[in-house]
Amino acid sequence: MKLQGVAEGDGGAHIDLCAEDVRDVVALARRLGAALVADHGDWAVLRSPGGQLFCAVPWQGEAVRPPVVSGSRLDQVCLDIPPSRYAAEAAFWAGLTGWEQQAGSRPEFSVLRPPAGFPVRLLLQRLDEERPASAHLDLACADVTAVRVRHEGLGATVVREGAHWTVLRDPAGGTYCLTGRDPETGGLPARGARAAG
């Protein structure tokens, strides 16, 4: 994960696809329906068919999975997709990454499973409303309530609570989720077990 300042707008979250050959990623993305927003020579900004900005950047050898910190781990980027664009957007990201798409734990979710060893996976969420595609970060938490209290102490505010997750807003205005998943495996608790939170 990288924090990046923006000159204007709210920033938000986006994916950087690290590649040995950025031009190949840009060409594939465009064949799959992405639009080139800006070409910076050795890296590029693109927009997915559903409107999500992302970057193709040179791979610098990044391969370390973020550690578990205070009972949580940043392990997932969730792409929030409007219903009219969901099928096309899911096909785009599966085609671009080459990752297998699997059904999620709820009907509005599907997961793109990366190869073993990748530090982050992609969760695709079908929204209930039509709006531009966006992204947010998900943290897997052993105890959602304890992590929420810690984050509130750091300035986050609760937006809403779901079945296995809590949506928070950070002090800069960005939203993210604390999810009741195992920080080591990313998996949900076994059926019948009570989820944290």
Residue located via tokens 């085609």: 95
> pTM of the full predicted structure?
0.87
Q: What fold, for 15-58?
A: 2,3-Dihydroxybiphenyl 1,2-Dioxygenase; domain 1 (3.10.180)
Q: What fold, for 72-179?
A: 2,3-Dihydroxybiphenyl 1,2-Dioxygenase; domain 1 (3.10.180)
Q: Which residues of 74-97 are buried (b: 16+ CB within 10 A; e: fewer)?
A: bbbbbbbbbeebbeebbebbbebb
pLDDT tens readout for residues 38-66: 999 999 999 999 999 999 999 998 877 77
Pairing of strands 53-58, 44-47: antiparallel
Residue type, 157: T
Extract the residue ranges of the chain whose pLDDT is less than 50.
Answer: 192-197
pLDDT tens readout for residues 87-110: 999 999 999 999 999 998 888 999
